[in-house]
Amino acid sequence: MESARQWIYSLLFFIFTIATLHVLDTLIISTRLTTNYQNIKLKKHPHLPLRFRSDGTFKILQVADMHYGNGMVTRCRDVLESEFNYCTDLNTTHFLRKMIQIEKPDLIVFTGDNIFGTSATDAAESLFEVFAPAIESGIPWAAVLGNHDQESTMNREELMSFISLMDYSVSQTFPSTKVNSDSKEQQPMTNIDGFGNYNLEVWGAPGSYLSNSSILNLYFLDSGDRAIVHGVRTYNWIRESQLSWLRGVSKRFQGQWKYDDQSMDISPLPVMHPALAFFHIPIPEIRQGPIKDIVGTYREYVACSSINSGVLKTFISMGDVKAVFIGHDHTNDFCGNLEGIWFCYGGGFGYHGYGVAGWPRRARVIQGELGKGKEAWMGVGKIRTWKRLDDGVLTKFDEQVLWDIHSLR
């Protein structure tokens, strides 16, 4: 009898021990040892390639100089006294959301000074906040750096790597090149000056003759930050290594530009597909001129490098770049023409960046429009631009055509 009781006690003790171990394992040990797959964060990729819509348009929203600091605790600069008390970085966020809503762009391009390093306590936090509206929208977005982005807790390479890993970002730290001529595999070209030099292709409209090739090429360049030349402080400039890469990319696209199908209702002349370029710091020719046909406000002295590295000459020799979009001088928002190529400022977008009180923050929109053949969409026929103000009703103004294929014939 006694031994039976002991046996029952032993059994109960055994069951109790197993149950205790199980509870411990479930509540404490397993949770620490096992990977929780729900918490793994993978980058959300946009649907690529970028391509024209079936209505024949491709729209880009250019956002220049957001100068984001720490969000709601970072105050606005150069706003009216009546606006000042309620104005923070969140006004910049709100403006971006409204621009995305009204324009529904196919790509958002941030042309530098995205964060204002000296006001951003933690660069990563500011990057998450500044690009949040783009990420929430799920629209592909691309960024280059300005001269202020690296003044916080990340250097330029870290910033670009971080930006390129963010959701829906199509930004790249380095351009990529084929491993060898017949390989599809790509590798980063790290032997090039700067961080954030890359190109993006925009393919033809779905179902069109050009749906499987790039018909609008977008070039992104790192124009650097500051430099000292002969003991004098100046802005940095686009280097020969970047220009030489650019010439190579442009040449590769030019190899694909002929319309092979002569039965289509298009010019029998081969037409080079146009390209657009984006970077932050203006080139010296914008200051020295003569820059012609100005549309918009030319309010401030063009702050560029004292070095002319031949960016304009390179674009002219390439032949495909029809318009260039820059930032940096917040109170200039004009487009002007230099030897057949348009240079357009975005105009200051961010409320923590300098501006002029009473002169609303603004953004630029760029739209590629396809030409129409007898039945189907063809290559790009027109490049148009306009701006909008953050004035409560997002006034649209200064609309102009930058390039029209018909004016070439």
Spatial separation of the C-alpha atoms in residues 167 and 164, rounded to whole Å: 8
Q: How far is the CB of 62 from Zn ion (least distance, A)?
A: 14
220: closest CA among 369, 321, 363?
Answer: 321
- Cβ closest to Zn ion, residue 111 vs residue 314: 111
In the bound state, the residue with its beta carbon closest to Zn ion is 113
Tokens coding 361: 């923050």
- Cβ closest to Zn ion, residue 300 vs residue 404: 300
- Cβ closest to Zn ion, residue 106 vs residue 113: 113
Q: Is 283 left (phi over 0), alpha (psi -120 to 50) or beta?
A: beta
The residue range among 60-68, 123-131, 265-273, 333-341 that interacts with Zn ion, by the rule CB under 5 A, is 60-68
225 binds Zn ion (CB under 5 A): no
Which of 189-206 are b and which e, b meaning 16 or more Cβ less than 10 Å from the residue's Cβ? eeebbbbbbbbbbbbbbe
* Residue 175 CB contacts under 8 Å (≥ 6 apart), including other chains: 188, 189, 192, 197, 198, 199, 245, 249
The residue range among 7-15, 57-65, 207-215, 270-278 that interacts with Zn ion, by the rule CB under 5 A, is 57-65
| Amino acid present at 35 | T
Q: How far is the CB of 70 from Zn ion (least distance, A)?
A: 17
- Cβ closest to Zn ion, residue 113 vs residue 398: 113
Q: How far is the CB of 250 from Zn ion (least distance, A)?
A: 28
Spatial separation of the C-alpha atoms in residues 265 and 250, rounded to whole Å: 26
Q: How far is the CB of 350 from Zn ion (least distance, A)?
A: 8
Q: Which parts of 63-82 interact with Zn ion (CB under 5 A)?
A: 65
- Cβ closest to Zn ion, residue 65 vs residue 320: 65
Give, in order, the Cα–Cα distances in Å from 124 to each of 42, 137, 330, 364, 390: 17, 20, 24, 26, 27
Q: Which parts of 239-258 interact with Zn ion (CB under 5 A)?
A: none
Backbone angles phi, psi at 229, to 5 degrees: -120, 120
Choice from 103, 106, 113, 222 touching Zn ion (CB under 5 A) = 113
Give, in order, the Cα–Cα distances in Å from 30 to each of 16, 34, 40, 172, 309: 19, 6, 17, 39, 60
Q: How far is the CB of 147 from Zn ion (least distance, A)?
A: 7
Q: How far is the CB of 67 from Zn ion (least distance, A)?
A: 6
- Cβ closest to Zn ion, residue 78 vs residue 113: 113
- Cβ closest to Zn ion, residue 65 vs residue 333: 65
How many residues touch Zn ion (CB under 5 A)? 2
Q: How far is the CB of 329 from Zn ion (least distance, A)?
A: 8
DSSP state at residue 315: H
The residue range among 78-86, 93-101, 108-116, 230-238 that interacts with Zn ion, by the rule CB under 5 A, is 108-116
Spatial separation of the C-alpha atoms in residues 90 and 68, rounded to whole Å: 9
Interface ranges with Zn ion (CB under 5 A): 65, 113
